[in-house]
Amino acid sequence: MLTKRIIPCLDIKDGRTVKGINFVNLRDAGDPVELARQYADQNADELVFLDISATEQKRKTLADLVLKVAAAIDIPFTVGGGISTVDDVAILLQNGADKVSINSAAVKNPELINECAAQFGSQCIVIAIDAKKINNQWKVHLVGGKVPTELDLFDWAKEVAQRGAGEILFTSMDHDGTKGGFANAALARLSDEVNIPIIASGGAGDINHFVDTFTLGKADAALAASIFHFGEILIPELKQKLKQQDIAIRI
């Protein structure tokens, strides 16, 4: 049985880690390099680094900061934000990222997924999908959640898997930062309909939410930010609780 993964997420803006609620009202959460080092020491399974304003500001991800974070940790490291070309992916992988997360650019140019998977391998390509429920349908949003589309979450997830993505990072905008639990019904459907790993994001508030997303939501990994950044949940404690619930986890 594959072990479930716990993944802290560093949302980066202006070189600092930030966290908000429903993608707005951001507050400072500390130095990304120091936080990354702490999470590696706490036995996090992976780390995700998202330059959340790169696409909106039409600039590239902070490659120099990626290099510093990669040098500080010894766990797999995924980087996203502003990635729109094969060359962008190459630079980040050269600077120490193990995987890249592509969101808006993949929707605008789906062929980019095929090109990146062919050149770097599917295991390097994570497709991030931000979605919220509109008229009871999950609709994909772009540019850090600011631009709605008519694209259906499940249709898009199936397409990215067919195009060669290795994982999907699904963030429920309705749940983001609310600490009310993950979007488990949507996650379970994604897991049933798509044959690649699904990372749950948006809504973690307590340890039971992780138990629920691995059981009810069938998620392969769970990502969280503020509860880790502000010390509300410690990763070693979380992993022990998951193990007690007979959830396969790396201690």
Q: Total domain count for the chain? A: 1
Q: Is residue 16 part of a domain?
A: yes
Q: Is residue 250 part of a domain?
A: no
The three-class DSSP label of residue 91 is helix
Q: Is residue 199 part of a domain?
A: yes
Each residue's pLDDT tens digit, 3-34: 999 999 888 777 666 654 444 444 555 678 88
Q: Is residue 23 part of a domain?
A: yes
Q: Is residue 50 part of a domain?
A: yes
CB 95 within 8 A of CB 66: yes
pTM: 0.91
Q: Is residue 237 part of a domain?
A: yes
Which residues have a Cβ under 8 Å from the Cβ of 130 and sit 6 or more positions away?
23, 103, 140, 141, 142, 144, 145, 171, 173
CB crowding 135-170: b at 16 or more within 10 Å, else e? eeebbbbbebbeeeeebebbebbbbbbebbbbbbbb
The CATH number of the domain where 151 resides is what? 3.20.20.70
The per-residue pLDDT of the chain, averaged, comes to 89
Each residue's pLDDT tens digit, 93-116: 999 999 999 999 999 999 999 999
Residue 32: domain span: 5-244
Q: Is residue 249 part of a domain?
A: no
Report the sign of the C-alpha dihedral through residues 177, 208, 50, 199, in that order. negative
The CB density around residue 201, as the number of other CB atoms within 10 Å, is 29
Query: What pLDDT does 242 receive?
Result: 97
Q: Is 11 a catalytic residue?
A: yes
For residue 82, pLDDT beyond 90: no
Tell me which H or E stretch contains 208: helix 207-215
Q: Is residue 159 part of a domain?
A: yes
For residue 250, pLDDT beyond 60: yes
Each residue's pLDDT tens digit, 119-157: 999 999 999 999 999 999 999 998 777 888 999 999 999
> Which candidate in 45, 51, 130, 212 is catalytic?
130
For residue 213, pLDDT beyond 80: yes
Each residue's pLDDT tens digit, 19-78: 544 444 445 556 788 888 999 999 999 999 887 665 444 445 578 888 898 999 999 999
Question: How many angstroms separate the CA atoms of 86 and 41, rounded?
Answer: 32
> Which candidate in 11, 45, 51, 176 is catalytic?
11
User: What is the longest distance spanned by two Cα atoms in the chain?
Assistant: 46
Q: Which two tokens stand for residue 181?
A: 């639990």
Question: How many angstroms separate the CA atoms of 27 and 8, rounded?
Answer: 17
Which residues have a Cβ under 8 Å from the Cβ of 10 and sit 6 or more positions away?
17, 32, 35, 36, 47, 48, 49, 50, 69, 225
Q: Is 130 a catalytic residue?
A: yes
Secondary structure string (H, E, C) spanning 34-84: HHHHHHHHCCCCCEEEEECCCCCCCCCCCHHHHHHHHHHCCCCEEEECCCC
